[in-house]
Structure formats: C-alpha cells, structure tokens
Amino acid sequence: MAGATFEQVRGIALGLPGAEEVSTWGTETVFQVGGKMFAVAAPDEPHATVKSTPDEQASLVARDPDTYAVAPTTGRFGWVRVELARVDPAALRALLVAAWRAAAPRRLTTGYDTEPT
C-alpha cells in the first residue's frame, strides 16, 4: 500500500462541488462546504481528521486501529483520525466523499450524484 499525502487530501476535498479551503488554528487547513467542516489536515502532519458517523468511526477503528483512531476533541461526534501513510488513497477518497456528503447542502449532493463519472 502506497499511503496518501496531504496534497491528495487537498486534491480530493477541493475536487468536490462547493468545497473550500480555509486556514485556521495555525497550520491546519479546514475543508468545508456550505460553511460546514468535513475534514482537517496540515501539510506537516502525518494524519487528517475526517467527519464520520459514530457507527462508521467504530467500524473503521475496530477494523484497522493502526490506520484509524477516534479523533481528539471531535471524536465524540464521530470524527476519525486517519494516518495518511497507512491509508489506501481509494479508501481516503471514499471517506472524504462521505464526509463531504454529510456536510454539503442537498442541492450539491444531488448534482454530484447525477454527474457522469
């Protein structure tokens, strides 16, 4: 497994309709849609934090605790910490798309679902 990078997180996140990059909290980059966060990462950090459901978080952590962990601070809301060097880029993409869907307005997700791939 090759693992993923911050640049891949950024590319996937910003490739989603309506997604924006906002610098906050020092060196961290927040990815949001419609003013709602769906991922946080930093170029100099080995992990990203991604919005998830508590059930999905529990499943990911149980399946691969070396790659996924309960995120500090936001973990109680289901957010998951992803070790980028260990995550498959396709799995990262799926997580980011699911996180974006959970945060995005319906008009964006409906349009995304009907776009040809």
**116 in any annotated domain:** no
pTM above 0.85, yes or no: yes
Number of domains in the chain: 1
Residue 1 contacts residue 86 (beta carbons within 8 Å): yes
pLDDT at 104: 93
Q: Tell me whether residue 114 is in a domain.
A: no
- How does pLDDT run across 54-101, given as a tens digit for each residue? 999 999 999 999 999 999 989 999 999 999 999 999 999 999 999 999
CATH number at residue 83: 3.90.1150.30
Domain around 39: 6-109
DSSP single-letter state for residue 12: H
